[in-house]
Structure 1
Amino acid sequence: MDRKALAAAFPVTVPVLMGYLAIGMAFGFMLQDIGYNFIWAFFMSLTIYAGSGQYLGVSLLAAAASLGTVALMTLLINFRHLVYGLSMLEKFRGMGWRKFYMIFSLTDETYALLSSAQAPVGVNPKNFYFAIALLDQSYWILGSVIGAVAGAVLPISTEGIDFAMTALFVVIAVDQWKAYARHLPALLGGIVTIVCLMILGQVFGQQQMLIVSLAVIVVVLLALRDRLEEKEEKSC
């Protein structure tokens, strides 16, 4: 591991450290509450590593859901990562074997950092991106294990604790809004989602509506890609 890249990436990931310790602990509490100890928390965070997907996994484990249900629900809740991947194609180019880990580790928070963070002068950008992804997952694993251990020792009620994930999403959205001068992509995403919810939400349900809205957002952004990139170049 490039120590120079790791040292440069750590300050950038401190906000994620704070968030992941909190929501990772919440996940650990919830998992322990349904009878799965810190070992399960560690391996779920190591191999699954999907915040909202792992929160959902707690409910599915508690309900003894079938593998088919687990697969379908995981696809629905993590469908947005297809959109993330499209915008990271150039950034991950030339990363060799690390590309596979970068794809695996592309959570909402890591995506937000990779979209805006710039490698300092003298630091290899590819190593910098890899360090960000690696540090973020280590924070999540640490938080989930701490939460599971604490949940086994302390009598903590988990009611409403899953809202921690929603709160973190809101914080990330606000930070991204402040970081960029142009808000058209965010506005398009919000408008498309609201329209799809109003038209399709009652008919198909929120999960199916989410897939449709994400698909529409991808099509709209691809159609406007040249215009958006042209405006970005002019603003620079």
Structure 2
Amino acid sequence: MSSSKKAFSYAFPLTIPIGVSFVFLGIGLGLYGISQGLPAWLPLVIALVVFAGSMEFVTVSLLLAPFDPIGAFILTLLINGRHIFYGLSMLEKYGDKGWKKWPLILGMCDESFAINVSTTLPDDVDKGWFYLHVTWLNYVYWSVGTLLGGVAGTLLSFINFKGIEFVLTALFLVIFLEMLLSATKVQSIYFGIAGVILAIIALLVVGKTAFMLTAMFGMLVLCYIAYKWGGVRYD
């Protein structure tokens, strides 16, 4: 068996739960786009080009608002700026993977990051191929779900789908709770709780527009302090 096929056989089962969630989330995006008056094909284009979770729901609103590229750039940075922190933590894992690092960088999302950063692979499984399979599989799941949602939204246009975008928030809550419940180190639980507290404080202090970057920066500082002076190690 080639290294690619072996890595795929190891990656695919791990992505199935994410795939199920992504299909339903993608359907939610498609339905939401149609409910806002977009043509059936446009949600799929957004999913293929943007591929940024919550930002795709916001993109629907941006397409319907007056043209404001600078405002859209700033809003995108505030919403998806957390990927800067993800990228920093994946430099060592992705940096030496040759041509694979480019699709890995472009295709990174919360769920792919969670699988790739937390999975301990056997020595005979190629890490580069494993990371790549996780990344493209999640991309396909999301795109297929969005296509289905666009078609369904067109066929069921008589139904009010207001609030359907909350499925993304629900997925993040489920992933967070699952990581807490399955954590094998008490430090992970402490950092998870600290992240919630920091997010609430940031929301109260800077508001909902900028709280994500503020909370992520706070977590980065907290993790650095814990590593540098608190003796916390994960290796």
1:112-127 aligned at under 5 Å gives the runs 112-120=114-122, 122-127=124-129
User: 1:125 deviation in Å?
Assistant: 1.3
* TM-score between both structures, scaled by the size of structure 2: 0.89
The partner residue of 1:193 within 186, 191, 199 is: 199
What does the per-residue CA deviation read over 1:164-205, in whole Å, with 9 as the maximum and x for residues that have no partner? 00100001101211232222321222222223333x14xxx3
Distance in 2, Cα, partners of 1:208 & 1:220: 19
Aligned to 2:173: 170
User: 1:23 deviation in Å?
Assistant: 0.6
Count of residue pairs brought into register by the alignment: 229
Distance in 1, Cα, partners of 2:115 & 2:86: 12
Q: Answer yes or no: is the 8 Å Cα contact 1:24–1:140 preserved in 2.
A: yes
**Moved segments of 4+, more than 3 Å:** 226-233
Distance in 2, Cα, partners of 1:132 & 1:215: 27
The code of the aligned residue for 1:50 comes to A
Consecutive unaligned residues in structure 1, runs of 5 or more: none
Q: Answer yes or no: is the 8 Å Cα contact 1:112–1:172 preserved in 2.
A: no
Aligned to 1:100: 102
Distance in 2, Cα, partners of 1:229 & 1:44: 44
User: 1:92 deviation in Å?
Assistant: 0.8
1:20-31 aligned at under 5 Å gives the runs 20-31=22-33
Change in Cα spacing, 1:2 to 1:172, as seen in structure 2 (3 Å) is: same
Distance in 2, Cα, partners of 1:113 & 1:122: 18
Distance in 1, Cα, partners of 2:117 & 2:74: 28
What does the per-residue CA deviation read over 1:53-80, in whole Å, with 9 as the maximum and x for residues that have no partner? 0011111122234112211111111011
User: 1:106 deviation in Å?
Assistant: 1.6
What does the per-residue CA deviation read over 1:88-141, in whole Å, with 9 as the maximum and x for residues that have no partner? 111112111221221222211111111222334532111111100110000000
Aligned to 2:73: 71
Q: CA RMSD in A?
A: 2.0
* Identical columns (%): 31
